[in-house]
Amino acid sequence: MDTIEPRDLIIRQIKERLLKIERPDRRPTAVEFGIEGINVKVFPSIFCFEDMEENKLVKPGVYHSILPVWIEYYDKVKTTLDIYPVGRSMLTQIRKALELDYTFIDLCVNYSMASNQILERADHAVAVVVLYKFTYTMPFFGQRNYC
């Protein structure tokens, strides 16, 4: 039986948590991975993107793999005055969903929010874009050749 890669466990956990985001009026309808969110038509919506993974050899036989994951959360607002208050609320909801307990600590060595931004779209929508970086261990398969 194949074991599930840490990367897959992390992505599965992200998706489960983001689907449970509670908003006063509604929750996101779906969390999509690898789909361009810029042309979103259904609100609220969340899109996630796995960026290029970086591997660093930390000791013979062990990599620290750093997985950047972009999260884009879109919602409509009534007026442009609501962009930043609603955006800050959405950012807080993402943080609560991902930082609420220690599950990610069990899955990885470290994780952190590397950056975030709140954007106004032309169609009275707000986009919150967040970059989380997850660091986990992976075997280095060339360990016998490592000097």
Report if residue 96 sits inside a domain: yes
pLDDT tens for each residue of 68-123: 999 999 999 999 899 999 999 999 999 999 987 788 888 899 999 999 999 998 78
pLDDT > 90 in the chain, percent:
47
Q: Is residue 145 part of a domain?
A: no
The pTM of this model reads 0.84
Can you tell me the distance from the alpha carbon of 90 to that of 142, in angstroms, rounded to the nearest whole number? Answer: 44
**Distance, CA of 40 to CA of 122 (rounded, Å):** 12
Predicted pLDDT of residue 147: 46
Q: Domain for residue 144, yes or no?
A: no
- Whether 30 has a pLDDT exceeding 80, the answer reads no
Q: How far is it, in rounded angstroms, from Cα 133 to Cα 136?
A: 10
Residue 57 resides in a domain? yes
CA distance 86 to 94: 13
Total count of domains within the chain? 1
Q: Does residue 146 lie within any of the structural domains? A: no
Crossing angle of helices 6-19/83-99, nearest 10°? 130
CATH of the domain at 73: 3.30.2000.10
* Structural domain span for residue 90: 6-138
Beta carbons within 8 Å of 115's beta carbon, 6+ residues apart? 130, 131
pLDDT at 143 over 60: no
